[in-house]
Structure 1
Amino acid sequence: MTRMLTLTATAALTLAAGVAPAVAQDFRALARQDLQAAHDELAANHPAAALPGAQSETFRAWIDAGLSDALGQADRVNSGDSHAYLLRYYGAGFRDSNISIRPTYEGLGPYFGTSWPGFTTGWRGGKYVVTYIQEGVRGTPPLGATLVDCNGTSAEELARAKLDRWEGNLETEAGRVTSAPYLLWNRNNPFTSGVPSQCNFQIGNSRRSREFQLRPTPVTPAALEAAYRATVYMPPATPLSIETVNGRPWLNVHSFDDGAGWEAFNAAVEAQVETLRGPQGLVIDLRAAAGNSITNSTRRGYGLANRIWTPEFTISRQPAAGAITYRATQGNRDWYAAAVGRMQADPSFVAEAPQVIAQTQEIVAAFDAAIAAGQTTFTLTGPELAADTGAANPVQGPVIVLVDAGCSGGCLDTLDLLSKLPNVRIAGSTTATDSIFIDPTVERLPSNYAQLSYGHKAWTGRTRANNQPYTPAEGLAYTGNPADENAVRAWVGTLFGA
């Protein structure tokens, strides 16, 4: 969609300027400084501060209260990692996947820990259950045992204290899934607890729980990686490929990143398109397909759909752009003006996307008019939904789109289109969520050790509600082990029937 091209192009160009990291002496002072700067930037320019309605309530409730909360914990910041944790906590408190505060350096990876009890937990059916036990570790609860409490604290209370905002958003199913392995690990977060000393687990159908002593066990990155991968689906090293599984094409689309190899993948799709459209059906596997506007991920997803179905067939089924609301501040206006300048300074961009430059210039003009009139916000409406061309559906067979908690950002935008195509069913497990506050701008914070990213405008006309995931319908939800690839593929095969 042209609207999406405008959004992604302007966001991508904000990454052009880099700032060298500063030498830090006092991470507590840096944390306070960065927290205040993030607060002030969001208060001054984020659209939610000026928009009424439920979609803005969490923002307004957290921006000041969350700052006070985080500043009250700043004395415990003692390293770069703890600085990153506290800033992440403040950003995550907005419950908006498009607001984040991340390190500008390579931080703790998903498999980091200083100690663990030799086993890990996953989020299964609304409970924390044992999903992995390291070989040779004794005295652990068995696989499948459900955590009841630790040291007198319920599993839910423990998760809220140790994981929520620090490791994930526990208000979402996806946040529960991706953060669950860390529940009993020590991730060297000074704001939370480490490995509990004793926990009660319910085993099988027993009504009574059983107590286990947890002994911190030395870790290796390989051991923690194995535990995490046995609990949460992680994409393969080659995220884009086409296979034949159970006699049907299986399109692996586990990334929307520009560097994932899209040119070769798109060429393979085009070469095999007649097979993809055959009566046997196909699978589009979007598990772990994280993507955001900066990587042009929505464009990638729409491009894939157009190659499989043809643009003539998809155009009338693409979600309408609808209303986009902007907050009329000088800072926001200057951001768009700077984006125009960077576009015009790039000869290839001028040649390839003049319409994007023109559209962004129109946005700058609308900012000027709104600011001059003293308006707090203004709204622009994108093109209306295209008329149905009458083109026949070229895809003869059923299509299963496989998703999970890792499907986020542009993956959700892609589902907005795929879900409207005939004979398409969404299967797997609940996706991540995203807010209507789209198109991230990235601002380096004063310490140079962190950067704030937030949605620059509000897609108030979006059909999908704010923070609304895709949840597979009954009969299309996978309840087995997400890390057991053979089991997943066998299950998907049953969805096509005989």
Structure 2
Amino acid sequence: MNRLLTVSVATMALALSAGSVLAQDFRSLAGQDLQAAHDQLAANHPAAALTGPASETFRGWIEAGLTDAKAKTGQVNSGDSHSYLMRYYARGFRDSNIAITPSFEGLGPYFATSWPGFTTGWRGGQYVVTYVKPGTRNAPPVGAAVVDCNGVTAEDLAQAKLDRWEADLTSEAGRASSAPYLLWNRNNPFATGMPALCNFSVNNRRAREFRLTPVPIQAGDLEAAYRATVYQPGATPLAIETVNGRPWVHVHSFADTAGWDAFNEAVVAQAATLRAQGFVLDLRGAAGQSYTSTARGYGLANRIWTPEFTVSRQPAAGEITYRATAGNRAWYAATLGRMEADSRFVQESLPVIEETRAIIAAFDAALASGQPTFTLAGRPAIADTGAANPVQGQVVVLVDGGCAGGCLDTLDLLTRLPNVRIVGSPTATDSIFIEPTVERLPSNYADLSYGHKAWTSRQRPNNQPFTPAQGLAYTGNPADEAAVRAWVGSLFS
């Protein structure tokens, strides 16, 4: 028995020692990754060499944020905590195109280690209870607004627990997507977990105290709570259906894998109906960060309005400023190599190859002369062709905070077309620093991505969302599909 006890104690000691080594490794790797991300951005990001508000924000965070984040590495003890700290540093730049993402499958949106049996949403500038699991005792009613928790105001709690860790709270889209986590414990070692006591204002009356008690998490609980609060697209991202007698065109993704060939055929087949009756274009949740995402959106508009009509309404590309570094030149050289190795691409897209060669030549000239940046002219605006508008009916474009990247580029075009109204809730924001470089960080646990050129002449300012005008903003529950559809239908009357 004594021998077994000795073996057991030795095994436990070995396990504890291995865990300590693992935690130490994660701390060390987090420090290395933060420094590597900082060095890569300092060496190659355009904001470091340009002026303007976006560049000031970048320069104000790159060193201060590194110091801040490195001071927290002592709390990194796992891959998930590593990911949290990387996101914290990346989101501090307030640039949607700077991201540090895990190279492994992370926790996902429907995760918590504990929750009080209810969740909150961002509604009208407040954190409001949006869902209560049936059977949960002593829970505030749906609609109750969080006033404070453990003596900390709801806003201060959100800033400490959500901002940078879960989303960028300087945007409405970030507020909406992260709101369900306000009172959950997401196992973030850098933030508080589930609070014990919170005051809620019920029906705008004096605050009432509720003691939050952890409720056992059963399969599907957290997903149901999140989906009852934040709109989530269904399994079929691209489709056309008839809703309340009117065509409803669903585009909930700009991914290449969404099924665009069949969808585009359906759009062409129903183009006459879309043009005559008008339609709803549903872009909720339609994220897409690549160049092809924008091309998908423009291609959809061309199939409905025709290229002859849209071409003169497309926003001018304007001037693009490049930071002249060997690292940025290497990105274009590698891209050119892949283009030239693809015989089909050479046959079909020779102008793109020639443009890329010209950019590399401009890099070489700038590097040889010691220029920190250089600027190249983009595609100019095209004069009105005089083509008639083929769409006679009204067009309602429904958006939310999930509309990002290529979706915003598509809105840049759609808002220039007649009889088009943007409705719903504010979209995500996007940066003027575009076209991503992606680099694996030293730990191999994360990838850094950032825009390596600056669209300084873009007509829409940096980090500017599309916000529906007064009367076109949806203020109800975004997850209540029947209510959303009824509200959109009322806009045609």
TM-score bracket, normalised by the shorter chain, equals: over 0.9
Q: Give 3-state SS (helix, strand or coil) of 1:251's partner.
A: strand
The corresponding residue for 2:147 is 148
Mapped partners of 2:187, 2:120: distance in 1: 18
CA RMSD of aligned residues (A): 1.0
C-alpha contact (below 8 Å) 1:328/1:375 kept by paired residues = yes
* 1:272-291 matched pairs, under 5 angstroms: 272-278=270-276, 280-291=277-288
The corresponding residue for 1:166 is 165
1:412-431 per-position Cα deviation (integer Å, ceiling 9, x unaligned): 00000000000000000000
C-alpha contact (below 8 Å) 1:111/1:221 kept by paired residues = no
C-alpha contact (below 8 Å) 2:23/2:76 kept by paired residues = no
Q: Report the CA distance between 1:305 and its aligned residue.
A: 0.2
Q: Report the CA distance between 1:289 and its aligned residue.
A: 0.4
Residue 204 of structure 2 aligns to which amino acid in structure 1? N
The corresponding residue for 2:398 is 402
C-alpha contact (below 8 Å) 1:253/1:286 kept by paired residues = yes
The corresponding residue for 2:465 is 469
The corresponding residue for 1:233 is 231
C-alpha contact (below 8 Å) 1:328/1:371 kept by paired residues = yes
Q: Give 3-state SS (helix, strand or coil) of 1:277's partner.
A: helix
Q: Report the CA distance between 1:196 and its aligned residue.
A: 0.2
The corresponding residue for 2:212 is 214
Residue 89 of structure 1 aligns to which amino acid in structure 2? Y
* 1:377-388 matched pairs, under 5 angstroms: 377-388=373-384
C-alpha contact (below 8 Å) 1:289/1:411 kept by paired residues = yes
1:125-171 per-position Cα deviation (integer Å, ceiling 9, x unaligned): 00000000001111000000000000000000000000000000001
Residue 251 of structure 2 aligns to which amino acid in structure 1? V
Q: Report the CA distance between 1:309 and its aligned residue.
A: 0.1
Q: Report the CA distance between 1:455 and its aligned residue.
A: 0.4
The corresponding residue for 1:19 is none
Q: Are 1:431 and 2:427 matched, yes or no? A: yes
* 1:79-478 matched pairs, under 5 angstroms: 79-206=78-205, 208-278=206-276, 280-293=277-290, 296-478=292-474
Q: Percent identity?
A: 73
Residue 223 of structure 2 aligns to which amino acid in structure 1? E
Q: Report the CA distance between 1:205 and its aligned residue.
A: 2.8
* 1:53-92 matched pairs, under 5 angstroms: 53-92=52-91
Mapped partners of 1:281, 1:410: distance in 2: 23
Structure with higher RCO (Cα < 8 A, 6+ apart): 1
Mapped partners of 1:372, 1:355: distance in 2: 26
Mapped partners of 2:160, 2:255: distance in 1: 33
Moved more, 175-184 or 327-336: 327-336
Q: Are 1:45 and 2:44 matched, yes or no? A: yes
Structure label with greater radius of gyration: 2
C-alpha contact (below 8 Å) 2:196/2:212 kept by paired residues = yes
Moved more, 407-416 or 383-392: 383-392
1:355-400 per-position Cα deviation (integer Å, ceiling 9, x unaligned): 1111111000000111111111100011211111100000010000
Q: Report the CA distance between 1:103 and its aligned residue.
A: 0.3
Structure 1: runs of 5 or more not aligned: 1-22
Mapped partners of 2:56, 2:327: distance in 1: 23
Residue 459 of structure 1 aligns to which amino acid in structure 2? W
C-alpha contact (below 8 Å) 1:112/1:221 kept by paired residues = no
Mapped partners of 1:91, 1:417: distance in 2: 30
Q: Report the CA distance between 1:220 and its aligned residue.
A: 3.1
Mapped partners of 1:24, 1:284: distance in 2: 49
Q: Report the CA distance between 1:281 and its aligned residue.
A: 1.4
1:9-49 per-position Cα deviation (integer Å, ceiling 9, x unaligned): xxxxxxxxxxxxxx997110000000000000000000000
Q: Report the CA distance between 1:221 and its aligned residue.
A: 4.4
Q: Report the CA distance between 1:335 and its aligned residue.
A: 1.3
Moved more, 350-359 or 78-87: 350-359
Mapped partners of 1:87, 1:384: distance in 2: 39
Residue 54 of structure 1 aligns to which amino acid in structure 2? P
Q: Give 3-state SS (helix, strand or coil) of 1:487's partner.
A: helix
Give the alignment's TM-score, normalised by structure 1: 0.94
Mapped partners of 1:59, 1:111: distance in 2: 31
Structure 2: runs of 5 or more not aligned: 1-21
Mapped partners of 2:462, 2:268: distance in 1: 35
C-alpha contact (below 8 Å) 1:240/1:260 kept by paired residues = yes
Q: Report the CA distance between 1:218 and its aligned residue.
A: 2.1
Return structure 1 stretches of 4+ with deviation > 3 angstroms.
Answer: none
C-alpha contact (below 8 Å) 1:322/1:383 kept by paired residues = yes
C-alpha contact (below 8 Å) 2:24/2:77 kept by paired residues = no
C-alpha contact (below 8 Å) 1:82/1:189 kept by paired residues = yes
Mapped partners of 2:230, 2:330: distance in 1: 42
C-alpha contact (below 8 Å) 1:114/1:218 kept by paired residues = no
Q: Report the CA distance between 1:254 and its aligned residue.
A: 0.4
C-alpha contact (below 8 Å) 2:284/2:398 kept by paired residues = yes
Q: Give 3-state SS (helix, strand or coil) of 2:220's partner.
A: helix
Query: Paired residues, what number?
Result: 472
Mapped partners of 2:98, 2:204: distance in 1: 42
Mapped partners of 1:205, 1:90: distance in 2: 37
Residue 39 of structure 1 aligns to which amino acid in structure 2? H
